[in-house]
Amino acid sequence: MLLKRADSDIERTDLDAVTGLPPRNALDNELPEFLRAMGRKRLPLSAIMVDVDDFKAFNDTYGHDVGDRVLRHVCSLIGDSVRYRGEAYRYGGEEITVLLPNADPGEALATATRICRAVRVTPLVLDGGDSGDSEKDPLQLTVTISLGVSSFPSVSGDQLLVTADSALLQAKRNGKDQAVSYEGKLRSLSEEPTTVINVRFPGLIDIKDGGIILLSRWFSHLNDPTELEAREISQPGRKKRDMVEGPAPKGGMATSEIRGRASDVERQGKYTFFSFEVESEVLELIVDALKHLKS
């Protein structure tokens, strides 16, 4: 169920001039109404706080006009993702707030994850004039966002946006380009079942337990998809990349990008060993890739 505002409640001139979304004061006025309506029906209300990653860099590199286009681009994709299901507002700066009536924490996190992916895989295309040089070919800007999710009545109504913002900050600390849910505690990755992969890296690297990392290049190891040798590891939160060259171990090679959380990090001799928690569906993709390589 979605509460829709009457057309007369907010005139077009009252919408945010850059994004076309209702502004912060509309959110302040309408959030209590949503909370009362959902509370009477004993239904949940979820909030998603969205922030454009590294937004200042777009303004500094291409100018504020392009920065505004980045915001409109993100808001358009958010609108497409929650149309007929929720309401988006410009919270301030590069932050957007989404309210999802009758959406429990799991559904809200799934929606936030879908929005995150939609922005990541949909570049903003600028012609040469937009990027400051009319002679240049069109430029594709990759934009990413971080999202924090919280739900009433898991948290009280007056803490709904506060806890969603706390989850957003954790998403930033985890490396950005992801959604984190607040449910009494912060929870990231997906609610999907996870699988632990044991990883060996032929080099000494300074990853830490609990860190979010990317395996950008990996090899099958010992013919077991839950044991991999990685040759390229990125730590997005620390803007670090570790690479090693050399022949592939027996079993083939696959090139992909796998995001997960590292744990049980050990350094032995010239190797770094760690466990790597990924969504179980990612493991299925790995198995399919290895089957293809061996066929």
Burial class (CB in 10 A: 0-12, 13-18, 19+), 149: buried
Structural domains of the chain, with CATH: 12-187 (3.30.70.270), 194-294 (no CATH)
To the nearest whole number, what is the mean pLDDT of the chain? Answer: 83
Does the annotation mark 94 as catalytic?
A: yes
Give the closest residue to 235 by CA, choosing from 208, 253, 255: 208
Instruction: Please count the other Cβ atoms lying within 10 Å of the Cβ belonging to residue 237.
Output: 15
Cα 24–Cα 73–Cα 134 angle in degrees, nearest 5: 130
pLDDT at 164: 95
Looking only at the bridges linking them, the beta strands covering 194-201 and 224-235 are parallel
pLDDT band at 283 (very low <50, low <70, confident <90, very high): low
Which residues pair with residue 151 across a beta bridge? 46
Give the closest residue to 167 by CA, choosing from 46, 289, 81: 46
More confident call, 39 vs 183? 39
Q: How far apart are CA 230 and CA 143, in angstroms?
A: 27
Give the closest residue to 235 by CA, choosing from 258, 267, 213: 213
More confident call, 214 vs 71? 71
The residue-averaged pLDDT of 33-56 equals 94
The residue-averaged pLDDT of 63-75 equals 94
pLDDT at 189: 46
pLDDT band at 194 (very low <50, low <70, confident <90, very high): low
The residue-averaged pLDDT of 51-67 equals 92
| Burial 72-95, CB ≥16 within 10 A → b, else e | ebbbebbbebbeeebbbbbbeebb
The yes-or-no verdict on residue 11 having pLDDT over 50 is no
Q: What are phi and psi of 172, to 5 degrees?
A: -65, -45
pLDDT at 14: 83
The answer to whether 123 touches 70, Cβ cutoff 8 Å, is: no
pTM over 0.75? The answer is no
Helix (H, G, I), strand (E, B) or coil at 146: strand
User: What is the side-by-side strand order in the sheet with 45-52?
Assistant: 87-92, 95-101, 45-52, 145-152, 179-182, 186-187
Pick the range with the lowest mean pLDDT from 33-42, 110-119, 206-215: 206-215
Q: How far apart are CA 32 and CA 18, in angstroms?
A: 25
The residue-averaged pLDDT of 247-271 equals 80
Residue in 94, 95, 183, 245 annotated catalytic: 94
The answer to whether 19 touches 67, Cβ cutoff 8 Å, is: no
pLDDT at 66: 94
Q: How far apart are CA 294 and CA 280, in angstroms?
A: 22
pLDDT at 1: 43
Instruction: Please count the other Cβ atoms lying within 10 Å of the Cβ belonging to residue 10.
Output: 16
The residue-averaged pLDDT of 227-232 equals 88
More confident call, 22 vs 106? 22
